[in-house]
Amino acid sequence: MEFLRNYIDLIIFLILGIMAFIALWCVIERLLFFRKINFTNYKNQEEFDNAISENLTTIYIIYSNAPYIGLLGTVIGIMVTFYEMGLAGNIDVKSIVIGLSLALKATALGLLVAIPTLIAYNALLRKISLLSSTYRINQND
């Protein structure tokens, strides 16, 4: 339990930081790809759609799981707080409230990763839809 008390915040923040970095990298990569896209490089609609939707699954996985990683940190933080209360033998409201409020920061960070990633995912999904329609129109001409 001592390990969890000392390192849970660091572990959760590290995981969420890595997730945020990967999400940001994927979004930037997609935006750069969209800027230089050439419709003539693709033989058919399926090949084009596969190329423009690359990395979208990674972004989806990050935005859908970041809140759960944060929630896991919160649950573990609450468990540690209650464990320490049990060991202390007395119930001190101040230490309970401080422990619980510190545990909630993991959920907040999870949401801070998930919300912008969700916004970026939806924006990229819309851009992909527009590019796919444009490709389809260009192929019919």
Q: How does pLDDT run across 84-133, given as a tens digit for each residue?
A: 888 877 777 787 787 788 788 999 999 999 999 999 999 999 999 999 99
Q: Whole-model pTM?
A: 0.86
Q: How does pLDDT run across 45-79, given as a tens digit for each residue?
A: 999 999 999 999 999 999 999 999 999 999 988 88
In single-letter form, the type of residue at position 62 comes to I
Which run of H or E residues covers position 107?
A: helix 93-140
How confident is the model at residue 2, as a pLDDT? 74
- Higher pLDDT, residue 2 or 134: 134
How confident is the model at residue 108, as a pLDDT? 94
- For the chain, how many structural domains are there in total? 1
Please name the residues in contact with 120: beta carbons below 8 A apart, sequence gap of 6 or more.
23, 27, 59
Tokens of 61: 């996985």
How far from 136 is each of 23, 52, 133, CA to CA, in Å?
29, 13, 5
DSSP codes of every residue in 126-137:
HHHHHHHHHHHH
Tokens of 135: 């490709």
Domain that holds residue 120: 2-140
* Residue among 80, 101, 58, 60 at smallest CA distance from 11: 80
Q: How does pLDDT run across 123-135, given as a tens digit for each residue?
A: 999 999 999 999 9
DSSP reduced 3-state for 21: helix
Mean of pLDDT over the chain: 90
How confident is the model at residue 1, as a pLDDT? 66
